[in-house]
Amino acid sequence: MKTKQARIEESIERLKQLKNETILRYTDEIEYDEDLSLYDVMMEHFVNGDLDDVFVTDVTDGMSDTEKEELFNLVREYNGLCFAKGNVEYWLDSLENTFVADFDMIAYNILDSYNYLLNLAKHGGKRVLEQLSSLRENDELRDVAIVEYLRNSFVSDGCLTAILLDMSDEDSLYDMFSNENKGHLLNYPEGVLYYYGDNQIKLISPLVLGSRLYNDYHEDFSDELIEEVDDENLSSTISLLREFFDDSSYSFYDSIIGLSERYRDYFRQQDIVLNDEAMEVVYDDDGDDIQEAWNTGDEFLGGGYDTPYNGQK
């Protein structure tokens, strides 16, 4: 696994190589008295696949030339995921949470997002790219550069990748949630999709999450709560939860933010130190630890606590 510094150096070399090749191949198209022109020309040819052969990446290591071509051809169909509003014309607006006129920085991040997309597609194929595209059904994700936005919301790329691959699986447990609600989950993932423990990033089962949301809503006026999910009641429980989350009277958005804020307060109390470079991503199916965190944390106090992962990659 590459170190963070090695990944940065590769990203710098990637941008340098594409700029140089753009000048060599398309110099007649560049207006050298305009600062933006080189980048506009580079982005245009980049999304058209004209620079695939000089795109610096280790994702294709060990792949045949045919496999590389197929991967780039597949991802090219979805390169809008790297741009604001899904369109290369908005490349200048594709860097989140910053107001910069540093064209290199913006281009660097777009190309880095594309490299992430290549790796994601290598492992999840067209299904995972379709899942990512469907997230534009969520209002908060409609106009953003989705890859950049989500990578900034997660503690690590490995964690985000694991969840996206699970979401895109055939018959995924995440299918109990609509694409709009999946967008809410991915927007506020800490304490909802994963939590920390034993120097690990622990992925929360959708069944644990769904059951908790259902029980929190019903506990004050119903005795019919979800106590345990096993092979016998799995199908009926999933159907129950899917119907519940599709009910327009239920505020899914408010509920998951509440759980996330409870965990964030619990996190603050525990004074956990994160080391995302060394933290292994594992699955936690029983949910005992996260249930304790949800029960312990204070939603109000958690709401005032800055997330520890914002802007990390």
pLDDT reading at 306 higher than 70: no
pTM of the model: 0.93
Residue 173 pLDDT: 96
Residue 28 pLDDT: 97
CB 133 within 8 A of CB 291: no
pLDDT tens-digit readout, 117-168 = 999 999 999 999 999 999 999 999 999 999 999 999 999 999 999 999 999 9
Query: Stretch 171-199: mean pLDDT, rounded?
Result: 94
pLDDT reading at 272 higher than 80: no
pLDDT bucket at 308, cuts 50 / 70 / 90: very low
Average pLDDT, the chain: 91
Pairing of strands 194-197, 280-284: unpaired
Query: Stretch 260-274: mean pLDDT, rounded?
Result: 85
pLDDT tens-digit readout, 226-255 = 988 888 899 999 999 999 999 999 999 999
Residue 1 pLDDT: 67
Residue 310 pLDDT: 46
Pairing of strands 280-284, 200-204: parallel
Query: Stretch 202-218: mean pLDDT, rounded?
Result: 96
pLDDT reading at 309 higher than 50: no
Query: Stretch 176-191: mean pLDDT, rounded?
Result: 95
Q: What's at 117, amino acid-wise?
A: L
pLDDT reading at 277 higher than 70: no
pLDDT bucket at 301, cuts 50 / 70 / 90: confident
Provide the token pair at 103: 């064209």
- Render the burial of 138-175: b for 16+ CB within 10 Å, e for the rest: beebeebbbbbbbbbbbbbbebbbbbbbbbbeeebbbe
Residue 210 pLDDT: 97
Provide the token pair at 290: 């996260």
Q: Provide CB contacts within 8 A for 289, sequence distance 6+.
A: 195, 197, 202
Better pLDDT: 275 or 67: 67
Q: How far apart are CA 128 and CA 234, in angstroms?
A: 25
Residue 105 pLDDT: 92
pLDDT bucket at 290, cuts 50 / 70 / 90: very high
Angle (nearest 5°) at CA 11 between 199 and 23: 170
Q: Provide CB contacts within 8 A for 139, sequence distance 6+.
A: 180
Better pLDDT: 310 or 149: 149
Residue 22 pLDDT: 98
Q: Provide CB contacts within 8 A for 296, sequence distance 6+.
A: 262, 266, 269
Q: Where are the alpha helices (DSSP H) in the chain?
A: 4-26, 37-47, 65-76, 103-134, 146-153, 157-168, 179-187, 206-218, 234-245, 252-270, 288-296, 299-302
Q: How far apart are CA 93 and CA 99, in angstroms?
A: 9
- What is the 3 state secondary structure string of 40-85? HHHHHHHHCCCCHHHCCCCCCCCCCHHHHHHHHHHHHCCHHHHCHH
Contacts 24+ apart (CB under 8 A), 193-196: 193/163, 194/155, 194/159, 194/163, 194/281, 195/263, 195/267, 195/284, 195/289, 195/290, 195/293, 196/155, 196/267, 196/272, 196/274, 196/279
